[in-house]
Amino acid sequence: MKITGVELRTIRMPLKSPFETSFGVESDRVAVLIRVIGTVQTHEHQAVEVQGWGECVAMEQPLYSSEYAHAAADVLRRFLIPMLLAESAAGREVTAELIGPLLRAVIGHRMAKAALEMAVLDAQLRGSGQSLASYFGATRSTVDSGVSVGIQPSIQALLDVVGNYLAEGYVRIKLKIKPGWDVAPVEAVRGRFGDLVPLQVDGNAAYTLADARVLRQLDQYDLLLLEQPLPEDDIRQHAELARLIRTPICLDESVISVRAAADAIAMRACQVINIKAGRVGGYLNARRIHDLCLANGIPVWCGGMVETGLGRAANAALAALEGFSLPGDVSASDRFYDQDITRAFTLDDGQIAVPTGPGLGVEPIQDVLDDCTVTTEWLQAT
């Protein structure tokens, strides 16, 4: 496609309830959205205007990773979008598959790059009339829906929250843990809801190898997995911890690229991988990691970053690939938002439907989007 211009938008959406993890409490979602406008040539050589949406999953503060929303907007405005516009202005065809190589000279900033690739991919697929799921070669029409449950003020509060999610039909519960809030909440949930509830925990890198004794206590609760217990840059010690505990280790923050995934698998640092497209530089890399894990017998699941309906649509399409054999954090819109910026994703018997329309298959509802918009700017070829 030929790129006409790019809109860069920052939004702020209130969360229904504070979401506490080992790295802090979030009460609203600040996110950067991208809208790419361009033209594609039809078979009859007519120029048709298309647009595509991208969502950057970087949080407002650099607490989950080094990226944060304001910085992502800056690197997009200052480097990534000008590179895209220059490529198109030079008369070279822009496709989603070329975004990675085109932006490779910029080091890091994976969540920012992923948002731009997502917007170009959405526009491209809207132009060709293909859904994202079929572009991936995904087979499922619905995906299992799990839910990520934040740290609560008390065990009783946690049991109430988990009980409500199970009543809503979520098929898997993930508990956020931190030192001092780990064995007790897991024991309480198992005690109240039994051994059959698929249960896992996420430490968000808050532990060290010195906590192995406590983490080993979790082995008795038949958890699906223990997600990212140790720091993101410490794949080697995850391999050591894996030899000390029975619960399978799942990596999240550490898997920032296809190469990091291959390293973690080779070092036996994880038995499962949480795939997040934004964390690995885009949905194309996310599919490559899926393929790598499938070939190595490593189960994967689709992680979440409290996305709006745009990112949720893309995650549902990704999670429909055969290798996503464990329930993901692709929850209903109302897990986090009273009003999503797209049509709501709802839970149906524990499943989320995979959009079938062209591209993402959803788009923002203009007045809802305008209500939560903080800034917008338009960038076009100079």
Report the interface residues with Mg ion, using CB under 5 A: 202, 227, 252
Closest to ligand NPQ by CB, 306 vs 320, is 306
Closest to ligand NPQ by CB, 64 vs 135, is 64
Interstrand relation of 47-56 and 146-149 (parallel, antiparallel or unpaired): unpaired
Q: Binding to ligand NPQ by residue 55, rule CB under 6 A?
A: no
Closest to ligand NPQ by CB, 51 vs 247, is 247
Helix (H) or strand (E) holding 193: helix 183-193
Residue with the CB atom nearest ligand NPQ in the bound state: 148
Strands (E), 82-171: 142-144, 146-149
Q: Binding to ligand NPQ by residue 329, rule CB under 6 A?
A: yes
Tell me, yes or no, if 178 is annotated catalytic: no
- Chain positions 187 to 206 lying near ligand NPQ, rule: CB under 6 A, are 202, 204
Closest to ligand NPQ by CB, 33 vs 306, is 306
How many other CB atoms sit within 10 Å of the CB of residue 2? 15
Helix (H) or strand (E) holding 89: helix 81-89
Find the binder of ligand NPQ among 182, 252, 340, 363 (CB under 6 A).
252
What mask of x and - would describe binding to ligand NPQ in positions 65 to 104, judged by CB under 6 A? ----------------------------------------
What are the residues whose beta carbons fall under 8 Å from the beta carbon of 190, sequence distance 6 or more?
Answer: 197, 199, 221, 222
The helix/strand/coil state of 281 is: coil
What are the residues whose beta carbons fall under 8 Å from the beta carbon of 222, sequence distance 6 or more?
Answer: 190, 195, 199
Among 88, 86, 107, 119, residue whose Cα is nearest residue 8: 119
| Beta carbons of 371 and 340 less than 8 angstroms apart | no
- Residue with structure tokens 């080779």? 266
What are the residues whose beta carbons fall under 8 Å from the beta carbon of 164, sequence distance 6 or more?
Answer: none
Tell me, yes or no, if 16 is annotated catalytic: no
What one-character DSSP code corresponds to residue 334? Answer: G
What mask of x and - would describe binding to ligand NPQ in positions 298 to 327, judged by CB under 6 A? -----xxxx---------------------
From the list 113, 174, 176, 178, the catalytic residue is 176
- Chain positions 144 to 183 lying near ligand NPQ, rule: CB under 6 A, are 148
Q: With CB cut-offs between 5 and 8 Å by kind, which of Mg ion, ligand NPQ, none does residue 148 bind?
A: ligand NPQ
Find the binder of ligand NPQ among 1, 3, 6, 26 (CB under 6 A).
26
Helix (H) or strand (E) holding 11: strand 2-21
Q: Binding to ligand NPQ by residue 29, rule CB under 6 A?
A: yes
Q: Catalytic residue positions?
A: 176, 276
Site for ligand NPQ, rule CB under 6 A: 19, 21, 26, 29, 59, 64, 148, 202, 204, 252, 303-306, 329
